[in-house]
Amino acid sequence: MRRAVGLLLVALVVACAARTRAEIRPPSDTGPTMVEPPGNPALLAEDRIRSLARNPAEWLDYIERSRAQRSTDSLVMASELQSIGKTGMVKAPYAHAFEITGKMTPAWLASDSARGIADNLLTFQAPNGGWSKHIDYSKGPREKGQSWFSESDKWQWIATIDNSSTTEQMQFLLMIDSVRPDPRYRAAWKRGFEYLLAAQYPNGCWPQVWPLDGGYHDAVTFNDDATTNVLATLQQAADGKPAWLGDSERNSARTAVERGIECVLDAQFIVNGKPTVWGQQHDPLTLQPTSARSYELTSLTAQESANLMRFLIKQKNPSPRLQASIRAAGEWLKSHALYGYTYDFETGRHVSPGAGPIWARMYEIGTDKPIFSDRNGVKLYDWDQLRDRRLGYAWYTYAPVLALRQYENWARKHPNTSNTE
């Protein structure tokens, strides 16, 4: 049914585009605006899909659906711009992050302040059903011609799972709906739910941005727990939260989670035949670790791997393959702990004898040495050598502390009976 609806949407979009192209010029309608980073190929170029994908037809269909949705999104903006006599978007109001905080108590959620945030948040939901990042919802509703993104007036980041985007807005809508039920909140949550399903790759993983934006954004993205957040959101839906979700939607969520976990296991990096952990980004077709921003080099990551393992640990009746994956990740994290340092996001690394454990964010594949980089992309092995990216990035992490505590409890309940691991 969803495929039929998708094909109908494509037909409608093509007809609409042909009818309006002479009158309206959609912003950046011809393709991604971001330049490919040096050495980072077009990950989903057709020749790569045909030569590397197990099921090229499914991937090419996915690409077409992404293009059709991008066209729909841009035509909505083009129509708005025409209606107000403008030719370009303006940026949305900026905020460092939108996140669920401790102040969002039931009492606060019942307040007019919370209602105002929710109402504004609804207006910033993109036509595709997702949300962008770094939006200040306290500044009022989105106006015609205003981008869904705050850091640029270009056509980028229109909807994403980066920085907890989309999943965090969906969680907020569930919270406020539980205190002040509103059919608009439920409708918006469902649109976000459909966005997550639509964005899932044929292999079960997720890109950072959908509709696709090109460059490293097309990589399978574990960075900043993007995929983990999506899996957790869909797992909630599969388990009956929200309670008003229909059986077919729960089944869709369950299937998406199962496919997502399979892709996560397929992406777990293998060394000498043994699974280890994951990178921040993986090639969507080969599932090998790859790079992202210039200072996010191809590597294995302790932070995202720890949080991904925490999600896997929660799975009921884990298969032998899943159990082996969890054990491999847990043992890798235990063996890569560092001591003698503390780390603060704002002030950096500090030598502190006896401190620890702590982990580097990134480890070099092949040597397991911690690695770092400034914006020039040059690999460094000493945090003290950093200059322009020295602060403001989580080069070290404590995330494995909680993950390993949970792992030890899990391991006692799931003893290793295999002689082949």
> Is 163 noted as a catalytic residue in this protein?
yes
Look-up: residue for tokens 């002030």? 347
* Residue 58, Cβ density class (10 Å: 0-12 exposed, 13-18 middle, ≥19 buried): middle
Catalytic residue among 115, 250, 259, 293: 293
Let me know: does 119 contact 138? Beta carbons within 8 Å.
no
Among 163, 223, 229, 307, the active-site one is 163
Q: Please, where are the H alpha helices in 124-182?
A: 167-179
Residue 11 CB partners (closer than 8 Å, separation 6+) = none
Question: DSSP of 186-197, one letter per residue?
Answer: HHHHHHHHHHHH
Q: Give the amino acid at 369.
A: K
Position of tokens 């200072």? 295
Here the tokens at position 374 are: 């400034």
Q: Are 184 and 40 in contact (CB under 8 A)?
A: no
Report which DSSP code applies to 300: E
Q: Is the distance from CB of 254 to CB of 248 less than 8 angstroms?
A: no
**Could you give the residue ranges of the DSSP H alpha helices within 131-224?**
167-179, 183-199
Concerning whether 120 is annotated as a catalytic residue, the answer is no
In degrees rounded to 5, what are phi and psi of residue 360? -70, 150
Provide the annotated active-site residues. 163, 293
